[in-house]
Amino acid sequence: MQYHLNGYRTGDPAISPAVDRPAARDAVDVLIVGCGPAGLTLAAQLSCFADITTRIVDRKAGPLEVGQADGIACRSMEMFEAFGFAEKVAKEAYWVNEVAFWRPDAGTGQIARADRILDTEEGLSEFPHVILNQARVHDFYLEHMRNGPARLSPDYNLALVSLTRTTDADHPVEAVFDRLDAPGTQETVRARFVIGCDGARSTVRAQMGHRLKGEAARQLWGVMDILAVTDFPDIRLKCAIQSADQGSLLIIPREGGYMVRMYIELDSLRGDERPADRNLTADALVAKARAILSPHRLEVREVAWWSAYEIGQRVCDGFDDVPDGARGARVPRIFIAGDACHTHSPKAGQGMNVSMADAFNLGWKLAAVLRGQAHPALLDSYSNERRAKAQELIDFDRDMARLFSEKPKSAAEAARFQAYFRKHGRYTAGVETRYAPSALTADDTHQGLAPGLPIGMRFHSAPVIRLADARPMELAHVAKADGRWRLFTFAGRGDDGARGSATARLCEALSNLIEPAAPDALLDLRAVFQQPHRDLGIERMPPLLLPRKGRYGLIDYEKIFAADPRDGRNIYTLRQIDRENGAMVLVRPDQHVAALLPFGDMPALRAFLDRSPLILPRRA
């Protein structure tokens, strides 16, 4: 954390100085409808920028307190780190370390533990896969928003009823809300952009005339969070249990050491039947869980929350208000994100994670356009990138749901499910998302410079030593959710940054390419060297790596790193970076690798930037 740049400030450094401006209410830059994980991620991202006015509203009367999703993938933890609260989640959450598989024993027919595997493969992320009530994730976002310069917090009791495009050049979208706390009254908000993060029954989606497409599966599932006493030995492990003839159960141990979530397979829905028609009760769920776990005992002492739902893999035909034919001809003004775009079963724990990832993809783009740092064309990439991801998710979920519900007729079939589960650990961890080549993502011409940092995928962190204070740390943790692009330079052999070195030449060329007036406000440069850190000298480094900042012109000492020479910790080895020639890695504000480029190849960097919608203040 860097702070005190513009003078010593008392108190919590996570609380930014407040902007001196009345909160915008009836005309804003961005209006977010819905305070779920998608809406809050977006609001948290925008709340970092003092110059953007945002409102976020929800029809609910207040924040979520119980239930809904709880799985937090490694990739989401990496994003939380960028927002500054990963360690809070890690502290409260249950950590998923292993998964147990239970199946009918060939002899007795009773369930028995068939296998037990690592949940997340070693080295996939520096963060664990954890489980925490969605409500607490909301709390951390809300705190982040409150601490931002605009002291953003949601307005509740506002239900969106209509959305219209107007001719107002500044705020071309008008939203009308019913005020649920004052029945009969309405409120109108005009906005430059409206984002529907309003869940599976999205009004914003309906107002755009879009709809979810896909199969309406007929499988009914129940979920409950319980406090119970049991002699089932793996109650504190994530378990997939397939019984001989009572159906399937997924156990997700929860935070706090006592609570457990169970996902329970129920009978298929028939005809037009809806989940509500079944008159399901918590007791019925408990009875079913007991039957599946038998002969183990299950005494439920409290049902903290429960729900029943039908699984359907569906995806929306459009993620913004630009028809495919008009793409490029007009600027999208209305977007949807999260469950408004895609619905799927909760079993792979993707609901909250993919919704947040949607918003993380969109947030920086909106900010860049609003702040004049990118052409509006940038906004088209949201739909391109996230629709592909949604389709992939739906396909994955369909396979997973089918395998999970199938009665394992043979050990081979059961083993097949387990193999699928294992294979897709990377996918469910959220680290497999790969954006296709585009104006924002280079093709694989230079992928060979660092095969361990795949272009289009999230920048996979690795340990380094910060030069100035010899601190061992994770390199990707410098990538805060601040809307900045990052250029990581990995020096080639022998380069020590001193005058005449390739790094020194690169810094000079970069100063000539980009206007250095507001040093590193737009492009955050970070240099990594191969030498042991004690062999490098900060006094020999180029000035661009020691930028002067803030009203005092203080030196930022956190730009330069050395590889950590300890066993298994060297970033050059871990990410297969070309040790001979080095490499430049350009990383997007959402932490995805935009491009790998030959070290010091300024024409290539310039070409990439010229093709992109970014507006960087360049030198003539």
Ligand X SMILES: Cc1cc2nc3c(=O)[nH]c(=O)nc-3n(C[C@H](O)[C@H](O)[C@H](O)COP(=O)(O)OP(=O)(O)OC[C@H]3O[C@@H](n4cnc5c(N)ncnc54)[C@H](O)[C@@H]3O)c2cc1C
| Cα(186)–Cα(205) distance, integer angstroms | 20
Instruction: Compute the least distance from the CB of residue 264 to ligand X, in Å.
Output: 11
Residue 247 contact among ligand X, its own copies, none, beta carbon within 5 to 8 Å by kind: none
The answer to whether the peptide bond before residue 617 is cis (omega within 30 degrees of 0) is: no
Dihedral angle sign, alpha carbons of residues 170, 176, 180, 183: positive
| Cα(532)–Cα(598) distance, integer angstroms | 23
Residues written for the chain: 620
Binding region for ligand X (CB under 6 A) out of 28-36, 440-448, 513-521, 586-594: 28-36
Residue 355 contact among its own copies, ligand X, none, beta carbon within 5 to 8 Å by kind: ligand X
Instruction: Compute the least distance from the CB of residue 196 to ligand X, in Å.
Output: 8
Binding region for ligand X (CB under 6 A) out of 285-293, 334-342, 391-399, 482-490: 334-342
In sequence order, what DSSP letters do the residues of 259-294 get, joined into one string? -EEEEEE-PPP-TT--GGGG---HHHHHHHHHHHHT
| Cα(461)–Cα(459) distance, integer angstroms | 6
- Residue 338 touches ligand X, criterion: CB under 6 A: yes
| Cα(552)–Cα(247) distance, integer angstroms | 67
* 129 and 253 Cβ atoms separated by less than 8 Å: no
Which stretches within 270-410 are classed as H helix?
Answer: 282-293, 351-370, 380-405
- Residue 199 touches ligand X, criterion: CB under 6 A: yes
Q: In the complex, which residues of this chain contact its own copies (CB under 8 A)? A: 1-5, 7-8, 10-13, 65-66, 87, 91-92, 94-95, 97-98, 116, 135, 139, 225, 227-229, 231, 233, 235-237, 253-259, 301-302, 304-305, 468-472, 534, 537-539, 548, 552-558
Q: Whose CA is closest to 296, among 233, 225, 222, 224?
A: 233
Instruction: Compute the least distance from the CB of residue 156 to ligand X, in Å.
Output: 9
Which one of residues 28, 31, 32, 35 is an interface residue with ligand X (CB under 6 A)? 35
Per-residue contact track with ligand X, 64 to 83, x per CB under 6 A?
---xxx-x------------
Instruction: Compute the least distance from the CB of residue 306 to its own copies, in Å.
Output: 12
Instruction: Compute the least distance from the CB of residue 263 to ligand X, in Å.
Output: 7
Instruction: Compute the least distance from the CB of residue 528 to its own copies, in Å.
Output: 17
- Residue 198 touches ligand X, criterion: CB under 6 A: yes
Helix axes 37-46, 134-147, angle to 10 degrees: 20
Give 494 or 537: the residue with its C-beta nearer to its own copies: 537
Give 150 or 308: the residue with its C-beta nearer to ligand X: 308
Residue 235 contact among its own copies, ligand X, none, beta carbon within 5 to 8 Å by kind: its own copies
Q: Binding residues for ligand X, how many (CB under 6 A)?
A: 33
Q: For residue 533, report the phi and psi dihedrals to the nearest 5 degrees.
A: -60, -25
Residue 554 contact among ligand X, its own copies, none, beta carbon within 5 to 8 Å by kind: its own copies
CB atoms within 10 A of CB 601: 16
Which stretches within 441-528 are classed as H helix?
Answer: 502-513
What residues line the site for ligand X (CB under 6 A)? Answer: 33-39, 57-60, 67-69, 71, 134, 158-160, 197-199, 203, 223, 307, 338-340, 346, 349, 351-352, 355
